Chains A and B, each alone.
Chain A
Amino acid sequence: MLLLIYFGKTFGMSSNLRTMCSVLGAGKASEFFHFDWKAQRWNLAVVLGAMLGGWLAVTYLSDGSGVNLNPKTIIELHQMNIDEPRGKLLPDALTSGEALQSPKILAILLLGGVLVGFGTRYAGGCTSGHAITGLSNLQLPSLIAVIGFFIGGLIMSWLLLPLIF
């Protein structure tokens, strides 16, 4: 983040979603996507780098030890029929080839994406823009947004997830 500011930009990953919508021609449907997206190409370079980084990290920099969870967490996950990590980053219940054939899982992934995409634009930022850049810059609106993130996350994690799975 500090590097990007030094480069004269600000750190925020979710702006790319708007940029991609514009690239795909959403400007015809709404004024919101009428902006100079070419000036945002640097951020797409960050995205490309992030994808490469993810690939490098799992391919060459991983020792296969994986996520080490609190035993209590694992018990709770079992109760929802979600597999424990065993060296994986994501549960098979969400992303295995088998899970991706289930309409329910596909719907969950799509819905989660819609909520993230809609919410992040409405709130004007995501974890990188608000929680990290905004809080670092001592912005009250970012604190409000982060409190919102947590209210939403807590409702989902405590109340809705057990109903969904």
Chain B
Amino acid sequence: MKFIKFLLVGLVFGIVLTKSEAVSWYRIYEMFHFQSFHMYGIIGMAVVTGVVGLQFFKRRKVKDIAGQPIVIADKEKLFTSYMVGGIIFGLGWGLVGTCPGPIYILIGAGFWGIAIVLLGALLGTFIYGLVKAKLPH
């Protein structure tokens, strides 16, 4: 039962991203060619909502559902991994137009070909796990 709420969050996430066309390869292509405001609008709105919401959580010291204080871990202060990893991710994003969330959403929506992207993504994650110690971070 405790998984139901997460299932519902995922459900809303899936519907919103599909209806807003953020899962569409076309929208990603268009975004990288600066030919539409569409994706910038979606990401921008999400970030504005997020900033306001998180500031509200922090200022009011809102407790989470279990009554624990809300703490969001700061990201580690690194540069190389964010930049290089980001570029590699961007290359994949620009190519197949799917970041990790939409991969699942699209498979659910019946685009079976995206299962190959998922397979690739699992493989890529696995390769990272193998070579992690040898990479600059």
Binding site for B on A (CB under 8 A): 1-10, 13-14, 16-18, 20-21, 24, 26, 29-30, 32-33, 41-43, 45-58, 61, 67, 69-70, 72-73, 76-77, 85, 89-91, 94-95, 99-100, 105-106, 108-128, 130-142, 144-158, 160-161, 164
- B64 touching A5, Cβ below 8 Å: yes
14 A–B pairs (Cβ distance < 8 Å), ordered by A: A2-B54, A4-B6, A46-B13, A49-B10, A54-B104, A90-B24, A110-B123, A113-B121, A122-B128, A134-B75, A141-B75, A145-B82, A150-B90, A153-B31
B41 interface hit (Cβ, 8 Å): no
- B33 touching A157, Cβ below 8 Å: yes
- A108 touching B95, Cβ below 8 Å: yes
**Which positions 41-60 of chain B face chain A at CB distance < 8 Å?**
43, 46-47, 49-51, 53-54, 57
Complex CA gap A95/B111 in Å reads 7
Q: Which residue of A lies closest to B36 (CB)?
A: A70
**Could you say which residues of chain A place their CB within 8 Å of the CB of B113?**
94-95, 99-100, 105, 109
Least distance between A24 CB and chain B CB atoms (Å): 8
- B125 touching A56, Cβ below 8 Å: no
**Which positions 73-97 of chain B face chain A at CB distance < 8 Å?**
73-79, 81-97
Given contacts A55-B109, A61-B19, A115-B92, list 15 more A-B pairs with CB under 8 A. A6-B57, A53-B15, A57-B14, A99-B113, A113-B92, A114-B124, A115-B120, A120-B100, A124-B81, A127-B100, A136-B54, A141-B75, A149-B87, A152-B86, A155-B90
Binding site for A on B (CB under 8 A): 2-3, 5-19, 21, 23-33, 35-36, 43, 46-47, 49-51, 53-54, 57, 62, 64-66, 68, 70, 72-79, 81-101, 103-114, 116-130, 132, 135
- B95 touching A54, Cβ below 8 Å: no
Interface of A is mostly: helix
Q: Which residue of A lies closest to B137 (CB)?
A: A122
A48-B7, A154-B94 are known contacts. Are A67 and B108 too (CB-CB below 8 A)?
Answer: no
- A89 touching B24, Cβ below 8 Å: yes
Complex CA gap A66/B88 in Å reads 29
**Could you say which residues of chain A place their CB within 8 Å of the CB of B107?**
51, 54
Q: Which residue of B lies closest to A49 (CB)?
A: B10
One of B84, B96, B99 near A148 (C-beta < 8 A): B84
Q: Which residue of A lies closest to B50 (CB)?
A: A136
- A3 touching B9, Cβ below 8 Å: yes
